[in-house]
Amino acid sequence: MDGLVEQTTKAARAIIENSQHSRRSSSPVPMAPPGTTAVPVAIPDPKDHFYNDQPPRPPRRRNVLLWAVLSVVSFVILGLGLGLGLGLGLNKPSRGFAAPATDSDCPCGGCPCVSEDPRPTLPTELPPWRLPDEEYHLDMDWDLDAPPTTRVFNFSVEEIHASPDGVLRKMMTINGKFPGPMIRANRGDRLKIRVTNNLDEPTSIHWHGMFQYGSNWMDGTSGITQCPIPPGRSFLYDFLIDGQYGTYWYHSHYGTQYSDGVVGPLIIHAPEEAKAREDYDHDEVILLQDWYHDLSKELLPAYLASGNENQEPVPDNGLIQGINTFNCASYDKSSNRTCESNSTKAVFGVTKGSRYRYRLINTGSFAGFYFSVDNHTITVIEADATMVEPMEAHRLSINIAQRYSVIVCADQPEANYFIRANMITTCFAKPNPVLDPMVLAVLSYTETDTTPTTVDWQGDGVSVCHDLNSTALVPSEEIEAPLADVLYYFSVSFQIGAYALDRAFFNSTTWVLPTIPTINQAVDGINNATTAHNFASDGVSPGFTDNQLVVSVPKGRVVDLLIQNLDDGAHPFHLHGHDFWVMAQSPFPATTGYFPWETYDSLDRTNPLRRDTLTIAPFGWALLRFEADHQGLWAFHCHISWHMEAGLLMQFMTGGHELAGIGIPDDVLELCDVGDE
């Protein structure tokens, strides 16, 4: 056995040392078969640290000296920015302040609880594209037990010119606002959202994390559950919220469009939330995202061009609550940029003694963040709509499309403190000289324009591209993971294909947006006696074209997904229509080894973390388990928008035989008829 381990270790090291070449090879590196050269890898213990506490591996494909120089320059620029311009962001606090009550029974260190918050409206001058900050505050008087109702929204997807960080650019927005409006409902409610496309290109809206029981065609996934909404047309998304509550979001699911501003929060309540409410007095949404100064469709051709070798566009800035400042001096006149020096940072007002639930959502397209609040411990209580036992930390990593709820107790001396979203730049393939990766907002106990002087938490390395240690997050509602019925293995790689184009692959398939949605193809194919077997047979379905990897799973089957990342970059994978149990994942850094097969039959099923978006580390792996409990075509893809456009998407067709009788609604089918008019 020692010889086998040594042989596999050498092979794994060779893969890493030659990653820039092997990841471009014509075929993926095969996984070690069970019982042969599998290298045992320790499964994380629930008592381990909050993070998989390992030193970071060197940043991929970068010049270390260049990064060092740019870091010094960024530090100088940051110092100038703080000294000269930050006060501009403190003149307009996000809200008023409440008087504390006298009750001292508080779970976060003895700070007094607050029973009322009058929240007086402060005079502010908002730019026309920005919603009031109160839009993202959740009224604590919301009735969690209200009878089911229908909630109606009207969205106009439209292009505007705006400058969230001071740099003027074209954007795509909901109702001309950025970020988009909050959708709020109770479990059991019906949502009706009419989306009118006022762009000059197609669009669709995905309701991220919604299960869509019995309404797969409302998932909003272009090319899979619908044809995109053509310019000048409207479509009504109409679905019931069933079996779920928590923090979700919505975004465009057409190309890289959501990178340009088509995003917003989606919050679902339920009676079970009442217990959690005992631990906080206020409830707010905080949106984090990377930001580009150009439309994503203008950046995409260069990324997909021959010879680029997966060097993703690097953000120019980051935003908190849709705004930030930018150093206009970093652009010279030849850039032809319009840059305003009066942009602001987000300010979150707090009252001493109050407890705040912040629902963090990473709505970005490429960058993960480490979130922290100077001098304030954060307590994690939710991960991707799964309530978890309280876990204290100084900072947490949040990757693209993930959501966490944290409680912050305002128990420090009254002053202003930095809120930090530290962009994880080691995940980037190249530097961007104008980027300041430390994105700042302000936690303000006062209504002054005093610049914070607080410093970041020390330690707890912030340079690695991986999630929190999943075993440290324990769901509050204990649900045992069922035994799996079937296991599928998928490798993830980037390879150079035809015309020297760098494409992303699941096994040997790279996804391309189909003209006819795969759900339409499946329903037609299953209803045709001559093709029904090809579409509904178990496993990889031969009924679809070569660039559509679709795995057919009978309804009710429990599926294990073993994902092996052969790439030197991290990938946040999202499963539509379901959440999954995180059964096991590689430690970080995953420099050697495969899944330890000898542990498979003894995996702890007691109460593993359930979520819908998980990061798989560079050269790492993860074992995910989900129940195919409702029929439809469900995407599974990397949520880095550039990678999905490069082909890193596959699908699960659940309950294929049941699809024969569903009947796709006429208004969904009509979206595909527009091109024939």
Q: What is the mean pLDDT of residues 484-493?
A: 97
The pairing of strands 378-383 and 282-291 is unpaired
pLDDT at residue 97 is higher than 70: no
- What pLDDT is attached to residue 125? 74
596 upstream amide cis, omega within 30 of 0 = no
- What pLDDT is attached to residue 627? 98
More confident of the two residues 155 and 126: 155
In degrees and rounded to multiples of 5, residue 267 shows phi and psi of -115, 125
Least confident interval from 19-33, 396-410, 461-475: 19-33
Q: Do the beta carbons of residue 582 and residue 44 sit within 8 Å?
A: no
Q: What is the mean pLDDT of residues 146-169?
A: 98
What are the tokens at 512?
């391309």
The residue assigned the tokens 């030849």 is: 334
pLDDT at residue 170 is higher than 50: yes
Res. 649 pLDDT band, cuts 50 70 90: very high
Amino acid at 670: E
Q: Where are the beta strands (DSSP E) in 424-522?
A: 438-444, 486-496, 502-506
Q: What is the mean pLDDT of residues 62-87?
A: 40
pLDDT at residue 95 is higher than 70: no
Listed by start position, the domains of the chain span 2-58+475-676
Secondary element (H or E) of residue 532: helix 532-536
Q: In whole angstroms, give the CA distance from residue 474 to residue 604.
A: 13
Q: Do the beta carbons of residue 567 and residue 638 sit within 8 Å?
A: no
What are the tokens at 292?
């580009």
**Greatest extent of the chain over all pairs of C-alpha atoms, in Å:** 74
Q: What is the mean pLDDT of residues 356-373?
A: 98
Q: What is the pLDDT of residues 562-610, one digit of tens each?
A: 999 999 899 999 999 999 999 999 986 655 568 999 999 999 999 999 9
pLDDT at residue 239 is higher than 90: yes
Q: What is the pLDDT of residues 106-146, one digit of tens each?
A: 445 555 444 344 333 333 578 999 999 999 999 999 999 99
- What pLDDT is attached to residue 584? 95
**Distance of alpha carbon 567 from the chain centroid:** 19
Name the DSSP class of 530.
T
pLDDT at residue 88 is higher than 70: no
Res. 60 pLDDT band, cuts 50 70 90: very low
Q: What percent of the chain stands above pLDDT 90?
A: 68
pLDDT at residue 43 is higher than 80: no
pLDDT at residue 339 is higher than 80: yes
Q: What is the mean pLDDT of residues 521-549?
A: 92
Distances (CA, A) of 543 to 96, 332, 519, 535, 540: 59, 54, 12, 5, 9
Helix (H), strand (E), coil (C) string for 625-645 = EEECCCCEEEEEEECCHHHHH
pLDDT at residue 6 is higher than 60: no
Res. 183 pLDDT band, cuts 50 70 90: very high
Q: In whole angstroms, give the CA distance from residue 651 to residue 175.
A: 32
pLDDT at residue 15 is higher than 80: no
Q: Do the beta carbons of residue 220 and residue 175 sit within 8 Å?
A: no
Burial degree of 136 (CB within 10 A; 0-12, 13-18, 19+): buried
Distances (CA, A) of 598 to 310, 465, 545: 35, 27, 36
What are the tokens at 60?
């991929």
Q: What is the mean pLDDT of residues 359-378?
A: 97
- Which of the listed CATH numbers 3.20.20.70, 3.40.50.720, 1.20.1300.10, 2.60.40.420 matches domain 2-58+475-676? 2.60.40.420
Q: What is the pLDDT of residues 502-532, one digit of tens each?
A: 899 999 999 999 999 999 999 999 999 889 9
pLDDT at residue 438 is higher than 70: yes
Average pLDDT, the chain: 84
- What pLDDT is attached to residue 360? 99
- What pLDDT is attached to residue 458? 84
More confident of the two residues 77 and 225: 225
* Phi-psi category of residue 44: left, alpha or beta, with phi > 0 → left and psi -120 to 50 → alpha: beta
Q: Where are the alpha helices (DSSP H) in 222-295?
A: 273-277
Query: Nearest CA to 131 among 280, 265, 325?
Result: 265
Q: What is the mean pLDDT of residues 451-461?
A: 81
Q: In whole angstroms, give the CA distance from residue 392 to residue 342.
A: 36
Bridge partners of residue 192, in order along the sequence:
152, 238
pLDDT at residue 81 is higher than 80: no
- What pLDDT is attached to residue 500? 62
pLDDT at residue 288 is higher than 80: yes
